[in-house]
Chains A and B, each alone.
Chain A
Amino acid sequence: MKLYLYGIIDSSNQINEPIYGLEGACVYNIPYCDIGAVVSEFTEPVQNNTEGNVLAHEEIIERLMEHFTVLPVRFQTIIDGRDNLLSIMQSYYKDFRNNLERFHNKIEFGIKVIWPSDKIKEHIINTYKKSSQKVSISDDSSNKRFMREKFEKHKLDEEFQAKADKFINVMDIFFSKFAAEKKLKKLKTEDLLLDAVYLVEKDKQDDFREAFEHIKGPHANFKFLFSGPWPAYNFVILPKNSDLLKDSRQEDLFDKVVQHQELVGAEKI
């Protein structure tokens, strides 16, 4: 019997409401000590990685979130039988438990901030030109011009990064007040100023949303994207050196998307 695994929950009890998983199979909990693995049975491995299946997977995890603390498992993880699943649970009980305790009463929110990088750069260049005019250099030999251009490029990059740091720090001060944990990525592209995830206690989520609205207000030319609540996908910590379980953050999906874009000739990010 093959078992499609959706998530690990902080309960060994059965799920009270009927939930139907991929291919309409009944979703149930296989207990191990005081936690459980939520699964549905499969006769054959999932062949179609369809959008519908991805959404169904996520929906089931969201349903579980309403009643339990959930450690979400990656899409299309199929275990070869109950005994193997229990063996995994036994081996990693402590790790699962630790994560579940960290996630208790907490939810994940995602924040992406897009800024007008062209305008920011333009502003930096204009400011630099104004200040450099004051100390204008009359000698314009090609060597000096080359050096000056190099220096200006360096200066521009430096200023650009500094401005990004400044904005991110200000935003993060607000968000961090209400977050237990966070992960920030700066400038994945020149336009994507911030790609952040925050782990927030449920009773602080309104404050967190308020902080977001507060930050959004004065930055009319920035674009903000807020998503959640999610189960704590981005905060799972499992032993890195294990050959059985891996922390999922070993690869950067963004790089994959870029690679695939190049592969099919899609528009560049």
Chain B
Amino acid sequence: MHNVVTKSRDVTLLEILDRVLDKGVVISGDAVISVADVDLIYLGLKVLLSSVETMEKYRGAPITGPMQEPT
């Protein structure tokens, strides 16, 4: 599961979470046992308390280039 971090792309967790937690198909209804509670997950994963801008400060260097390696 850590391949995502180490392998092909140097994407930030923020970018991943922004998609996985609140984008794509959202299914709800009786047939669905559990749908991610976005609020709780965001609180649980405090990494998301950082925005792109604050992340940049923590990195100590500006985001100057693509976040991915060239293919």
Contact = CB atoms under 8 A, between A and B. Distances in A.
Interface in B1-56: 1-5, 9, 11-13, 15-36, 38-54, 56
Interface in A111-132: 112, 114
A62 B20 CA distance: 12
A226 B68 contact: yes
A59 B7 CA distance: 11
Given A72-B24, A223-B62, A245-B25, 8 more contacts: A55-B5, A80-B30, A80-B31, A191-B53, A223-B63, A231-B24, A243-B29, A269-B53
B24 A79 contact: no
8 tightest A-B CB contacts, nearest first? A84-B31, A233-B23, A76-B36, A72-B24, A226-B66, A56-B1, A233-B19, A269-B51
A87 B30 CA distance: 12
Nearest to B56: A223
Nearest to A267: B54
A45 B42 CA distance: 19
Contacts of B21: 54, 74-75, 253
B34 A57 contact: no
* A contact patch SS: mixed
B60 interface: no
A236 B44 contact: no
* Contact count band on A: 35 or more
A227 B68 contact: yes
Nearest to B10: A227
* B contact patch SS: mixed
Contacts, number: 200
Nearest to A254: B51
Interface of B: 1-5, 9, 11-13, 15-36, 38-54, 56, 62-68, 70
B1 A266 contact: no
B40 A49 contact: yes
Given A56-B1, A77-B34, A236-B23, A227 B63 contact: no
A88 B26 CA distance: 12
Interface string A214-257: 00100000011111101101101010000111111101011011
Given A223-B63, A248-B24, A74 B36 contact: yes
B67 A225 contact: yes
B18 A246 contact: no
Contacts of A251: 22, 38
A51 B62 contact: no
B33 A80 contact: yes
A87 B68 CA distance: 39
B19 A59 contact: no
A76 B53 contact: no
